[in-house]
Structure 1
Amino acid sequence: MSARVEHTDVGAYALGLLEADDKRAFEAHLDTCRACTAELAELSGMAVVLTGVGRVEPDEREQQGEGEVVNLLRRRKAADRRTRRGTLIIGVAAAVTLVAGGIAVGSGLNAPSSQVAVGETHHGTGPAEQFYEEGTPAGGVGATGVKGGVVYESKGWGTHAALKLEGVTGPLECELIAVSKTGERKAMTGWAVPPAGYGVNGQPPLYMHGGSPWNPEDIDRFEVVTTTGRTLLTVDI
């Protein structure tokens, strides 16, 4: 893959739209590209929010418009398979637009200045890192070599939290979980850990943020867990 194509794969990878060969190639690219890794961390929160969201029923005009978009994407794919990645990015943007027509996705998490443009390469401090560094982190107890903390704040819709995670290697799939005082568990956000990991061997730490519908006073702790059930970090609040 060329550098230009690699960077445009971030949105498609975050939503699981890449085919198996391209997914493996992009994961290899993540090991050497901090810009894509940082952007993937920000986009993964949106991917988790979109997961399981029911389809917003469109009116007849919207159905016609959606059909035209699908037909256009199919014609482009048939005409030139090399444009597939760009088509997938268009599909990501279209999916967000359709969902936004019925609900507000993460509108309280980011100010307009921190919104991420799909396909654009970003450098510097992201919104999750900025919120974490400006807050007072609650430290956690981690598995061997793992360390990190959580900064959280109360919102009208629940709790916004930012995580810093270090000392973890991949490949892994992880989630930030909020555990209520009654023992109920809800995923706040999720991400993939590349083989090079985060906060090890010269790699930067991971910063992620997500949301919970519970208020801070209803939350007992935050946990970072793998999809295989291993607990990497526990942060009591």
Structure 2
Amino acid sequence: MTARVEHTDVGAYALGLLEEEDREAFEAHLLLCGGCRAELSDLAGVASALNGIGPVREEPPPVPGPAIDLLRRKRAADRRTRRGTFVIGMAAAVTLVAGGLTVGTQLSGGGAAQVAQDHAGHVGQGPAEQFYADGRPIAGKGVDGVSGGLVVESKGWGTHAALKLAGVKGPLECELISVGKSGERRVMTGWSVPPAGYGVPGSPDPLYMHGGSATPLKEIDHFEVVTSTGKRLLTVRI
């Protein structure tokens, strides 16, 4: 990834101000950052009001208004201010991507649980559920009544996967892990399971999550859902 990606690019992306290279890099970053996805959702209404063109869009509006011009100038000034700390920030970002650390594992406290709930499909279909529904799920083998599967796709930066998980009760902390043919294990995403659980009586909706691994799809042997205590709940072989 050659383009510079920063968490503060959310507003510029929502308003269509990023150049093509930066936009593509930021869209890859969104897969690995639950905080940016949540902020992008919050900014949808603001972008609509400023542009007057409806929902958030990827391309910039044909004739930006004064508010857009002001935000563009402010963003340029912010970039100049941050230039001194860019190298340190990029080093941290590369470390996170290399480890496949995403979504719940980057959030603290109740944030991970909230992301999990947002992806459970209570109001329409979230991005993970939509990707799963549109793809070709690979069924996994679970234990203790756990069931689920994955939809996977190869990306330039590695592997993107959407998980469906049911039959699991909490409280638990879980991770989706890619296991390479070499035995290398990478955490793709992490989340908290509330006491009510997912896909069980009283809480019938399954959990949908997605995450990414820096390991290319052709080099992955299988995927695992494991708890923080090391118990394997689901294995998906490709």
TM score, norm. by length of structure 1: 0.52
Deviations 1:122-176 (A, max 9, x none): 8310000000011111111101110000000011111100000000000000000
Deviations 1:29-58 (A, max 9, x none): xxxxxxxxxxxxxx9962599xxxxxxxx9
The aligned residue for residue 152 of structure 1 is 152
Distance 1:230 1:199 in 2: 19
Q: CA deviation at 1:61?
A: 3.8
> Where does 1:54-133 land on structure 2 (aligned, <5 Å)?
61-62=81-82, 123-133=123-133
The aligned residue for residue 73 of structure 1 is none
Look up the SS of the partner of 1:234 in the other structure. strand
8 Å contact from structure 2 (residues 177, 186) kept in 1: yes
The aligned residue for residue 174 of structure 2 is 174
Q: CA deviation at 1:60?
A: 9.1
The aligned residue for residue 38 of structure 1 is none
Distance 1:99 1:168 in 2: 37
Distance 1:129 1:233 in 2: 18
Pair 48,142 (structure 1): closer, same or farther in 2 beyond 3 Å: farther
Distance 1:222 1:180 in 2: 9
Look up the SS of the partner of 1:131 in the other structure. helix
The aligned residue for residue 224 of structure 1 is 225
8 Å contact from structure 1 (residues 177, 186) kept in 2: yes
8 Å contact from structure 1 (residues 44, 191) kept in 2: no
Q: Does structure 1 residue 212 correspond to structure 2 residue 213?
A: yes
The aligned residue for residue 55 of structure 1 is none
8 Å contact from structure 1 (residues 44, 190) kept in 2: no
8 Å contact from structure 1 (residues 45, 208) kept in 2: no
8 Å contact from structure 2 (residues 196, 202) kept in 1: no
The aligned residue for residue 190 of structure 2 is 190
Q: Among 33, 36, 42, which residue is 1:46 paired with?
A: 33
8 Å contact from structure 1 (residues 165, 207) kept in 2: yes
8 Å contact from structure 1 (residues 176, 225) kept in 2: yes
Distance 1:178 1:150 in 2: 11
What's the C-alpha RMSD, in Å, of the aligned pairs?
Answer: 4.0
Distance 2:35 2:171 in 1: 18
Distance 2:134 2:180 in 1: 25
Deviations 1:53-93 (A, max 9, x none): xxxxx999449xx9xxxxxxxxxxxxxxxxxxxxxxxxxxx
Gaps of 5+ in 1: 1-42, 50-57, 67-97, 110-117
8 Å contact from structure 1 (residues 170, 195) kept in 2: yes
The aligned residue for residue 233 of structure 1 is 234
TM score, norm. by length of structure 2: 0.52
Pair 179,139 (structure 1): closer, same or farther in 2 beyond 3 Å: same
Pair 59,234 (structure 1): closer, same or farther in 2 beyond 3 Å: same
